[in-house]
Chains A and B, each alone.
Chain A
Amino acid sequence: MKNKNRLVSRLYYISASAFILYAIYFISIILADIFMNAQIDNFTIMPSHLTGYPVKADLQLRTFDSLIEYKGSDYLDKTSITRQSMGSIFIDNGKSVSTRKDIKEIINDTAYQKNIIIQEASAYAGATPIDDNFDIIEVASGQKEAIILLKPKNAYLSALLATRSYMGGVCILIILGQLARLFRQLNTTFTFNRSIGHALWFIGNCLLVYQVLIFIFSLITKQFIENIIYNESVPDSGYLSRQVFTFRIASEGSFTVIFIGLSLVVLSKLLDYGQQLQEENDLTV
């Protein structure tokens, strides 16, 4: 690379090296998936109609440490569900003061009629339990991201998900090709050049179009499927089933990627202007 500025040259070689390493990594995971059936980073080029189309969903999780139904003299025939805290539960006995009972008393007391489901969580460092290092480890209820696999029977939804699924890979290949062209051009001449601006313009628009399309596709997908609900119930307890997991199909699209795409398009226009000034300077005697 011809440039008098050492810092610029070094930055170029570092970014070119990083790009080559990423390209090698990308090719490796494709080859591993094809020849060794080993998926890296959950990437697979197996036809999605066999494995299921990945769809982003928001996960709402609500769990209970313990679920106890019992009827006893302290309980007044009323169902009570409480959170287990430090091995004890609070009993709502209809009086103004709640009674705190150790859960082991209830488990071992034959006077109580009970169905108990206890969901225990224990933390380990390797094989060593580390519960002593923490007061209470709780599951945060709230929304998290999850990926679910859909195998739709509807032909339209299948076609839509197939297009969306392979569109991402095509987009990555196009961007990698443009970046390779960009680095090759910079290696030849480190000046303002029409092809450099054009490459950035192409990458920026590719990102914008991709984000808009997957947003539209996710909206259409939600018309076919919106929620997946997992319930938990206590057998023979008379309890209604309790909603524990809810997968809600998410609207896809990233504002960050849209911002990057727009920035690249603006940068390409700036480089085009720079190229005009360069040309004018080159033709100034």
Chain B
Amino acid sequence: MPIIINLDVMLAKRKMRSNELADKVGITTANLSILKTGKAKAIRFSTLEAICEVLQCQPGDIMEYVE
């Protein structure tokens, strides 16, 4: 898939664990896992907003387009 999710990088920078992020964002760890592994087909703006708020980053920091 051309869009790569670099959530692990941001989690490492913020020294946060996945289940902690999922809990703060308000999604299940299973859904967060889907996002991290690149299996997600879509992401809601509300979820993206919550992730960026928790990780204190921009959307471009966690998503990258590669050809």
Contact = CB atoms under 8 A, between A and B. Distances in A.
Interface of A: 279-280, 283-285
A285 B40 CA distance: 7
A284 B27 CA distance: 11
Contacts of B42: 280, 283-285
B39 A283 contact: yes
B59 to A, nearest CB: 13
B44 interface: yes
Interface residues of B, number: 12
A285 B27 CA distance: 8
B25 to A, nearest CB: 9
Contacts of B27: 285
B17 interface: no
Interface in B42-58: 42-44, 47
A280 B43 CA distance: 11
Interface of A is mostly: mixed
A276 to B, nearest CB: 10
Nearest to A284: B42
Closest 9 CB pairs of A and B: A284-B42, A283-B41, A285-B35, A285-B43, A285-B31, A285-B40, A280-B41, A283-B40, A285-B47
Contacts of B16: none
A71 to B, nearest CB: 96
B34 interface: yes
Contacts of B44: 284-285
22 contacts: A279-B41, A280-B41, A283-B34, A283-B39, A283-B40, A283-B41, A283-B42, A284-B40, A284-B41, A284-B42, A284-B43, A284-B44, A285-B27, A285-B31, A285-B32, A285-B34, A285-B35, A285-B40, A285-B42, A285-B43, A285-B44, A285-B47
B27 to A, nearest CB: 6
B32 to A, nearest CB: 7
Contacts of B34: 283, 285
A283 B43 CA distance: 9
A280 B41 CA distance: 6
Nearest to B43: A285
Most buried by B among A279, A280, A285: A285
A283 B34 CA distance: 7
B45 to A, nearest CB: 11
Contacts of A283: 34, 39-42
A273 to B, nearest CB: 15
